[in-house]
Structure 1
């Protein structure tokens, strides 16, 4: 800690936007008193038991668990596999997989077989090999579904709703998955091939997401540092700094004083 205390983890504008957005989420969908099942979801078997080895069944089982943990188990949905990311061969024996081939997920409102409205959610099948990214995708798309029921515009308006959607996934308890999946780079090699895979998933930055964890877990009356053992090491360090700043600055009171009509 410096002489002047912990440093604000985000720019002034992003910090104020996060506080205003959490106030909006609380006003629209309530806090822990209204959603007592809200928890910090961990990447453990307690929250995600072993699944089927068959791809479609595996995806459906993970999706159903994310819905349950989000308190949305009864909301009408349909899960479909979308387009998979493809490798780009940039030279003989060298491949590159990047983020631009196919989206991680998609959310659409459709009519069901009897005319009722439901959410159609599509996922990138490549993410079946990375359950943490798949869970982050499902949390993000279900956050779209929740936000579609809002009675007012989010801070910043619907033009930046994807940023608010990431924040909503943290509000639903999936901050660890969102932060760990925000940026991935992997290399692989074999006797005849080498390659790299990089992916930017979601819309908030890694630091923005761990700051959101620090804010929301504090508002929920939980210790944000409970997330640290499950985060990538550099994110755990960022979480510690963000938590120190949140605790020093009485964030709950600051949020309570926000006037959303003035934001």
Structure 2
């Protein structure tokens, strides 16, 4: 008779199962070892993103290169341009020699400008680093996801949603949770960065649950995440983390991937 007092799942079961399936897909395709031993929770702070540049583009590029490194993609040949100067062009064929992610990735000796993966930034976001980092992380996840050996759960029609979760998997969950549903950027679709006038695709609750999955798999205490998470999501995060931890069978399946 007191069943109504029990905790309800933080999300509906279909969404939770999809998130677990997405993590399984990411672990299979993007090196579970790199996830467990190299990937960190990226914090939007001066400690994680130190330094200053004298120009707007210099600052945008500094933050981008740091985000690439945290994603384990520092060896990828890329170029960053102001979205206002992004010309329509065919994206280059993705070719990464060696490891896709992590410390084992090898930096190519030289890559022509035309064969580099193009990333764009909105100059207006340089003064909003959290949104800028989330935008970069989503584009990095887009390119990384394109190298998967199998389609993501839910199919290509959910690609932007899948790559947001992949960005959380890469360690950028705080930026996505803190800025979900409140930032909007323009992006050149021809560069592979998503739709023009893009806002967050998943709700702040979906993203926060995915962030809780990241922290539980990495065995992080709640306080590590909570001190950097916006206040309005802290109570929900604790509920989500409890829900993730009680799903022992689902967690065991994830932890068994790549072992």
Taking structure 1 as the reference length, what is the TM-score of the superposition? Answer: 0.76
State the Cα distance separating 1:256 from its structure 2 match: 6.4
Using the TM superposition, give the Cα deviation of residue 142 of structure 1 relative to its aligned residue in structure 2, in angstroms: 0.4
SS in 2 for 1:80: strand
Unaligned runs of 5+ residues in structure 1 are 85-106, 186-198, 259-263
Alpha-carbon distance between aligned partners in 1 of 2:73 and 2:136, rounded to the nearest angstrom: 12
1:253 alignment partner in structure 2:
252
Provide the C-alpha distance between the structure 1 equivalents of 2:31 and 2:121, rounded to a whole number of angstroms: 28
How many residue pairs match? The answer is 223
- List runs of 5+ in structure 2 lacking aligned partners: 94-109, 184-196
Question: Corresponding residue for 1:129?
Answer: 127
Question: How far apart in 1 are the matches of 2:201 and 2:73?
Answer: 23
1:110 alignment counterpart: 92
Partners of 1:26 and 1:69 in 2: CA distance: 17
C-alpha RMSD of the superposition: 2.8
- Tell me if structure 1 keeps the 8 A contact 2:27–2:35: no
- If the length of structure 2 is used for normalisation, what is the TM-score? 0.77
2:140 aligned partner: 142
CA drift at 1:53: 3.7
Tell me which protein shows more strand as a share of its residues. 1
Matched residue of 1:75: which SS?
Answer: coil
Q: CA separation in 2, counterparts of 1:143 and 1:164?
A: 9
Superposed, which structure 2 residues align to 1:136-215 within 5 Å?
Answer: 136-184=134-182, 201-215=199-213
The C-alpha deviation readout for 1:189-223, integer Å capped at 9, x for no partner, is: xxxxxxxxxx9832111000110011122112323
Higher helix share: 2
